[in-house]
Amino acid sequence: MTGNTLRGAATRHVTARELSQTAGKPNRGAPAYSRWVNRPIGRQLAILAFQAGMTPNQVTLASGAVSLCGIVLLGAGPATIPVGILVALLLALAYALDSADGQLARMQGTGSATGEWLDHVIDCLKIASLHMAVLVCWYRNFDLSPATLLVPIGFGIQASAYFFTKILTDALRAAHARPPVGGERDATPRPRAEEHSPALASLVVLPLDYGLLCLLFALLGFHSAFVWSYSALALAGGLLLGAGFVRWYRDLSRLG
């Protein structure tokens, strides 16, 4: 490796580090796992992707592929301890890559409407199919009553409703505050918002954090513990979603 090559690699490394400092999302409203675990890991993956010359869409597709592996393994594999740990690791890695693609787009200044569309489509498919995979897993491997099998169905409805409502609410707020110009998304790197978002707020909404659900699959091999933990998370998420509906409706009603 020549000296110029080494200097070029070092320059790319420094540039990636510097750009990553302006590529993060605001912490306000972010659940605990996303705020303190997933986004920092995603930042490191975005740096690696930047140095490798990857595009944000490639990272998005990689996230979808890793999610698919974890979901298929969950639905088709045995409900054992090793399988549960592997599913948790795959889903957590996919979630970190899902954070990395947006950070990479802001680092490169290459964000686009199609990139955002692809990201949301894969998220939608992932959320809907994950809970159906839990349903299949429980039916194949667990000795449960028919009523208990309703829990993954309800959890899937809750997760899909939260994802759609959150995206729609943010879009309506943005449309009210600033009309779209030319239909293009502003992907210019911007300073990362480090406003003083209370830590307690991030902990309160933790049951709505997809990352916590990813880690929960490490309990898959402990059947009773997994069923109870998954059901408790579904219940807590449902209660928080109901409260969120009221708050979001009130916020939007103030916009006129």
DSSP for the chain reads --HHHHHHHHHHHHHHHHHHTT-PPP-TT--HHIIIIIHHHHHHHHHHHHHHT--HHHHHHHHHHHHHHHHHHHHHS---HHHHHHHHHHHHHHHHHHHHHHHHHHHHT---HHHHHHHHHHHHHHHHHHHHHHHHHHHHH----TTTTHHHHHHHHHHHHHHHHHHHHHHHHHHHHS--STT---------------HHHHHHTGGG-HHHHHHHGGGTTSHHHHHHHHHHHHHHHHHHHHHHHHHHHHHHHTT-
**How large is the average pLDDT for residues 238-246?**
96
pLDDT at position 2, please? 57
Percent of the chain with pLDDT over 90: 74
154-168 residue pLDDT tens? 999 999 999 999 999
pLDDT at position 9, please? 46
Give yes or no for a contact between 127 and 166, defined as CB atoms under 8 angstroms apart. Answer: no
Q: Position 215: which residue type?
A: L
170-210 residue pLDDT tens? 999 988 887 555 444 444 444 444 455 688 888 899 999 99
The structural domains of the chain, with segments of one domain joined by +, span 10-253
pLDDT band at 225 (very low <50, low <70, confident <90, very high): very high
Domain 10-253, architecture per CATH:
Up-down Bundle (1.20)
* Range of 2-6, 57-61, 196-200, 252-256 with top mean pLDDT: 57-61
pTM: 0.86
* Range of 8-12, 149-153, 182-186 with top mean pLDDT: 149-153
**How large is the average pLDDT for residues 217-232?**
98
26-66 residue pLDDT tens? 766 689 999 999 999 999 999 999 999 999 999 999 999 99
Question: Residue 135 pLDDT more than 60?
Answer: yes
pLDDT at position 33, please? 93
93-125 residue pLDDT tens? 999 999 999 999 999 998 899 999 999 999 999
pLDDT at position 10, please? 44
